[in-house]
A = this chain, B = another copy of it.
């Protein structure tokens, strides 16, 4: 199952990323995909209640890839994590199929209580670099979250949500 998933993901990234030039490159140079593949193993261990082994696998994956996915998280098929460094996905997060996450995205909690405390990301969602999605909220199917956006309430399907942009505070006509 892991093997067929790797093949599927490699095929997907070759279609999706204009910077990807070969199958070998897709296999070896996408740490975000590698993190998902490690997660298949850590989640398998987690569901068999081998919590410590599961966490060891996920921590090893974090060391290799810079992507920190808790073994308890539920990750669908064809989930692309691009660049990946700094991505953090919490224990009770759910990510459905065909989701794209960029580096430094957090699917986090707003407090250390037990139970569902991390977001659910529905199908076909796109989340830009550095976005922070916090709490047991839902990002609806087909929605897009812009880079750097902080989100603490559910987002309906097919919605685009963006961070406030940087603003000019000074312009010098001559260098001082």
What residues of chain A have their CB less than 8 Å away from a CB belonging to chain B?
Answer: 16-19, 21-22, 24-25, 28-29, 31, 51-52, 55-56, 58-59, 62-64, 66, 68, 70, 72, 83, 85-86, 88, 90-91, 102-104, 106, 108, 112-114, 117, 128-132, 134, 142, 145-153, 155-156, 158-175
Specify the chain B residue showing the minimal Cβ separation from A171: B159
In the assembled complex, which residues on chain B have CB atoms less than 8 Å from the CB atom of A130? 104, 106, 130, 132, 148
Within the complex, what minimum Cβ distance (angstroms) separates A13 from chain B? 10
17 contacts between A and B (CB under 8 A): A17-B112, A19-B72, A25-B51, A28-B55, A29-B59, A62-B66, A68-B85, A68-B103, A88-B103, A106-B147, A108-B147, A130-B132, A146-B150, A149-B166, A150-B163, A150-B164, A163-B166
A104 to B129, CA, bound (A): 10
A145 to B17, CA, bound (A): 28
Within the complex, what minimum Cβ distance (angstroms) separates A56 from chain B? 7
Specify the chain B residue showing the minimal Cβ separation from A70: B19
CB atoms of A145 and B132 under 8 A apart: no
CB atoms of A63 and B62 under 8 A apart: no
In the assembled complex, which residues on chain B have CB atoms less than 8 Å from the CB atom of A175? 142, 158
Specify the chain B residue showing the minimal Cβ separation from A106: B129
